[in-house]
Amino acid sequence: EPEVTQTPSHQVTQMGQEVILRCVPISNHLYFYWYRQILGQKVEFLVSFYNNEISEKSEIFDDQFSVERPDGSNFTLKIRSTKLEDSAMYFCASSEEGFNYGYTFGSGTRLTVV
């Protein structure tokens, strides 16, 4: 069964540093997303991406965040200057045209900012 792959599984970074979280969506999917989940809290939408541009973003997705699809397979989330409150699980997801099977989420990257 096709999977969404996220790397690394765990990232520890110092406050103020830049981090890039990487995702390889399912190959024939056209829509890409990032969600996050702070420990013990709800899963929150960050951003959706289609046709090489952001479709929608939440209030969380401020100027410190950016997304990119640098090539035909990767989808990245960059946090420019990390804060303690950015510590969370970050989930990448993708979906196909027609949306018959919902999103497929990756296993997540646990980001710890110290």
Contacts with another protein by CB under 8 A lie at 4, 30-31, 33, 35, 37, 42-45, 48, 50, 55-56, 58, 89, 91, 93, 95-99, 101-108, 110
- Rounded to a whole number of angstroms, the minimum distance from the CB of residue 81 to another protein is 25
- Nearest residue (CB) to another protein, 45 versus 66: 45
DSSP states along 27-87: TT--EEEEEEE-TTS-EEEEEEEETTEEEEE-TT--TTEEEE--SSS-EEEEESS--GGG-
- Rounded to a whole number of angstroms, the minimum distance from the CB of residue 16 to another protein is 26
- Nearest residue (CB) to another protein, 106 versus 113: 106
- Nearest residue (CB) to another protein, 55 versus 73: 55
- Nearest residue (CB) to another protein, 58 versus 64: 58
- Cα(33)–Cα(81) distance, integer angstroms: 21
- Rounded to a whole number of angstroms, the minimum distance from the CB of residue 107 to another protein is 5
Tell me how many degrees the CA angle 99-93-100 measures, rounded to the nearest 5.
Answer: 15
**β-bridge partners, 109:** 90
